[in-house]
Amino acid sequence: MRRIAIMGAGQAGLFLAIRLIKSGYDVTVISEYSAEELFNGPPTGATYLFDDALQLEKEIGLDLWRDTAYHASAFHINLGTPGGNLDFAIRSRTSKPGASIDQRLKFYQWIKVFQKHGGKFIVSDTTPSDLLGCTSQFDLVIISSGKGPLARLFPKDVERSPHQQPARKLVQIHFNDFEQPGHTRFTSITFDAIMGAGEVITGPFYQKDDIQCAFMLMECVPGGPMDVFDDCKSATQILERAKLMMQSVIPWRYPSLNNASVIDPSAFLKGSFTPVVRKPFVKLNSTATVMGLGDTVILNDPIVGQGGNNAIKMAHAYAQAIIEHGDNIFDSEWMERTFESFWAYSQHVNHFCDLFLSPPAHVIDILKAAEHNPEIAFDFVSGFNHPPGLFPWLSNRETASDYLANKLAVSAFEI
Ligand SMILES: Cc1cc2nc3c(=O)[nH]c(=O)nc-3n(C[C@H](O)[C@H](O)[C@H](O)COP(=O)(O)OP(=O)(O)OC[C@H]3O[C@@H](n4cnc5c(N)ncnc54)[C@H](O)[C@@H]3O)c2cc1C
């Protein structure tokens, strides 16, 4: 039986571990925290998953909150001017719903599932010096420790990493009494963008104590009018500051927060990081090589909610490749090949994220057209689930203008 070690009990590592253990592999997960410590620890990113990623979880029996968590099936996208005026708004349904489950609850439950199927779970903070020992005991060692220090072992892929510094300061809270003014509760993702200031993303969130609430992720451009949270020390303070900020920066959103209160004053997330793509493997010596997975090697800003979706899809792709490789050696050529075939997909994910961090004029043109054209709106929101579907038409001015000419000619003809 082939022996696989996975460092990091997160979205990607646990998915891969459970997928492989269910396929008859001998799998060991090494985690810096126990299941209970993860459950009781600080919140992680909201990690809203779209349908394709949810389906992959379902295929291996990990859709544990299918019937309990709200699933959203609509997008509301609003774009405002720096003066606080709403420029245009897009409403569209998605073809299938998505959901956001508190990763503290998800990882806790997934670790239990993994152990129930015979997986070995070891609590240890892996250091670079532990890795060499691991490679002699296992056929394959995967590092899925997120953006933590182990990731830095993997060299940066300069050509695929355009960012030199964080594009946004991230601030996230979980709250209740969230209402879209005059509309449904919890059933849509709302994305408010203000040029030069940042974005506010809200959506349904199934909190770890089985509380259905909402998350709010604020993507603040450093030094801009949304960058006002540095001194906030609790979720309550963040919410109060967000209300003040919204009155001038996103006044149309402010009424939805009128009755809001936070779920847990100590549960909030504040920070920033630089998006980066890394080489997929590290050679520890002439024979020992370890492979990276998830945020460890492809780290994007969460602006369009792709990191967790990508982590699941990447873990699924790695699992397929491991199984197809049979009893052959997992050498660096295999690792490179496996990663590159996933990159054929992820290059579009990365491009989507980067386009939204500083949207060029052709992206704004498409969004404006989507306000009055349901087909364009649907094409666009479907891209969140499957970013390759956005390209090539969203790539540049020429492709976008061809796409728009085509779509608008069709709708004129239909009228
Ligand atoms: C604010 C915010 C909002 C987000 N919102 C979304 C969203 O809406 N949709 C979406 O798809 N994505 C979102 N993301 C991104 C998403 O959360 C990540 O991309 C995803 O969790 C990455 O999965 P991973 O398995 O690579 O890493 P993680 O899920 O971070 O797991 C890594 C694990 O490794 C463990 N670990 C770290 N170091 C070690 C070590 N040395 N030894 C052992 N274990 C270790 C950690 O404890 C952790 O459990 C968001 C991220 C942020 C920051």
| Ligand 1 atom at shortest distance from the alpha carbon of 296 | 26
Co-location of 27 and 107 in the same domain:
yes
**How far apart, in whole angstroms, are the C-alpha atoms of residue 111 and residue 254?**
39
Task: For residues 252 and 215, give the distance between their C-alpha atoms in angstroms, rounded to a whole number.
Answer: 18
Measured between alpha carbons, how far is 123 from 119 in angstroms, rounded to an integer?
A: 13
Share of the chain above pLDDT 90, in %: 88
| DSSP structural state of residue 297 | T
- d(CA 11, ligand 1 centre) in Å: 6
In a domain, 352, yes or no: no
Structural domain contains residue 59? no
By C-alpha distance, which of 343, 337, 332, 330 is closest to 5?
Answer: 330
Distance 144 CA to ligand 1 centre (A): 9
CA distance 45 to 197: 21
Same structural domain, 19 and 121:
yes
What is the extent of the structural domain holding 297? 3-50+103-163+275-347
Asked if residue 192 is part of any domain, the answer here is yes
Q: Is 57 among the domain residues?
A: no
Both 41 and 88 in one domain: the answer is: no
Given pLDDT bands bounded at 50, 70 and 90, which one contains residue 182?
very low
Q: Are residues 222 and 264 in the same domain?
A: yes
Q: Are residues 197 and 142 in the same domain?
A: no
30 by DSSP, 3-state: which?
A: strand
Please give the average per-residue pLDDT across 369-389, as a whole number: 97
The C-alpha atoms of residue 352 and residue 222 are separated, in whole angstroms, by 21
CATH for 262 = 3.30.9.40
* Alpha-carbon torsion angle 232, 309, 89, 198, nearest 10: 30
- pLDDT value of position 298: 98
Domain end marker among 255, 271, 287: 271
Q: What is the pLDDT of residue 82?
A: 85
Are 94 and 192 in the same domain? Answer: yes
Q: How many CB atoms lie within 10 A of CB 96?
A: 14
- Determine which of 7-21, 122-136, 376-390 has the lowest per-residue pLDDT on average: 122-136
CA-based torsion, 32, 315, 46, 109: positive or negative: negative
* 305 and 184 fall within a common domain: no
Q: Which two tokens stand for residue 160?
A: 């695929």
User: Are residues 171 and 239 located together in one domain of the fold?
Assistant: yes
For residue 306, give both structure tokens.
């792709």
pTM here is: 0.96
CA of 44 to the centre of ligand 1 (A): 7
Residue ranges around ligand 1 (CB below 6 Å): 7-13, 30-33, 44-49, 125-126, 144-146, 148, 150, 170, 172, 217, 269, 294-296, 302, 305-309, 311
Of 271, 292, 315, the residue at which a domain comes to its end is 271
The count of domains in the chain is 3
Cβ pair 275, 353 in contact under 8 A: yes
Nearest CA to ligand 1 atom 11: 308
> Does residue 247 sit in the same domain as residue 261?
yes
Q: Identify the CATH number of the domain in which residue 332 sits.
A: 3.50.50.60
Helix axes 307-324, 332-357, angle to 10 degrees: 160
Is residue 171 scored above 70 in pLDDT?
yes
User: Ligand 1 centroid vs 146 CA: distance in angstroms?
Assistant: 5
Instruction: Indicate if 116 and 237 belong to the same structural domain.
Output: no
CA of 357 to the centre of ligand 1 (A): 20
